[in-house]
Amino acid sequence: MSGKREQPPGPGRPRDPEADAAILRAALEVLVEQGVAGAGIERIAKRANVAKVTVYRRWPSKEDLLADAIEAAREEIPAADETDEPAGDLPAIIDHLLPQWSEALTRPRLRMLTARLLGAGPDHPRLLEAYREHHLKPRRDRALATLRHARDAGVLPPDADLDMLIDMMNGAVMQYLLLGEDAPEPAQARAYLERLFRQVGLAP
């Protein structure tokens, strides 16, 4: 997946970065609210308060626009390396990031975006690939690096299967995000994550 598609320069005024940002925000909002089928260019342009032709000048298709909107939203989810704790001190890292992770799991927008993108996979594989490439893979890579440091420091057994460990945690989080009966409060989400980390041996 690439980032935003660069269009060849043409006559007239230069592109407005504020318009680009408004369109991307509007595209993500409409995707979350209406799903892929309802995220039409006209609806997105109206939400962004721009002309439809302004959108088409920047993105040749709806899928291109939605893929870039998904990429632009990646900073909303805290990553495993966003801490100053020593890499080998896994309990301290978890304790530091638990409030951020817990709050993220309670965001209705994140829960709905995840559901929309997983549901869109069969008909819009490119969007699911954008989600994997720009949201899941970078965080998985950083989590793997953190777990390797923890294993080297003796926090985890030397034969720990780190990929499987991450798969297990991702599966539990997806279950919690998508199949939970009620939208949790941050304290409930934190309690769930603490139980998960204890179960997989990452916390006492």
Burial category of 125 from C-beta neighbours within 10 Å (exposed 0-12, middle 13-18, buried 19 and up): exposed
| Identity of residue 164 | M
What per-residue confidence (pLDDT) applies to 8?
Answer: 42
pLDDT in tens, 142-169: 888 888 888 888 888 899 999 999 999 9
Write out the two tokens for 94: 């978890």
pTM of the entire structure? 0.70
pLDDT over threshold 70, residue 11:
no
Per DSSP, 183 falls in state P
Alpha-carbon torsion angle 66, 121, 118, 75, nearest 10:
-30
Contact indicator for 98, 190 with CB cutoff of 8 Å: yes
- Only one residue has tokens 């040749």, namely 60
3-class secondary structure per residue, 185-197? CHHHHHHHHHHHH
Q: How confident is residue 71, by pLDDT bands cut at 50, 70 and 90?
A: confident
Angle, vertex CA 26, rays to CA 24 and CA 29, nearest 5: 110
Which residue ranges form the domains of the chain, and what is each CATH number?
A: 17-72 (1.10.10.60), 77-199 (1.10.357.10)
